[in-house]
Amino acid sequence: MLLFIIKIYYKIQLHRYNLGNWTIEYGRGRFQAGLTNFGDNKLVFSKLWLKRATFKEAKELFFHEISHILAGADHGHDEVWRRIYFSLSGSDCVEVPNKIKDSDYTYECYCSCGFTQLYFIKSRVYCPECGDSVHYENMSMK
């Protein structure tokens, strides 16, 4: 039910900020909560992430992505982007919302290269740093 409400909220907000030429897509992203695709004028949100998010977190994610649109493609997470994000959300955005904090799993590289990453589902077989196998450890959800 919350996912349905979030989808309606996102659609209303697009029109509120005069971004009717942008579309919203909901994908199965495992590594990013949201993505702004300037080439296709499309916002892509992870259904997996949204299903676990509170409404407040979903709003922050939306403002995060909208801030990319309003700042422009060349701004990333720079000061221009941060000012826009703050004006929309009221948050100083110390951490960007697409960093998954409450994950089910963490994985570590078997070769002990030191690489560790949090993910909400098991998805990687090899370490992105050295290519060796990875070891999953179950994490508790909050």
Judged against a pLDDT cut of 90, whether residue 14 lies above it is answered with yes
Assign a CATH topology to domain 2-89.
Zincin-like (3.30.2010)
| Domains in the chain: boundaries | 2-89, 105-138
C-alpha 48/C-alpha 65 separation (Å) is 17
> What is the band of 90 on the pLDDT scale with cuts at 50, 70, 90?
confident
Contacts of 51 by beta carbon, 8 Å cutoff, 6+ apart: 2, 3
Give me the mean pLDDT over the 2-28 stretch: 91
Q: Is the pLDDT of residue 99 over 60?
A: no
Beta bridge partners of 106: 118, 137
pTM here is 0.67
Asked whether residue 49 carries a pLDDT value surpassing 70, the answer given is yes
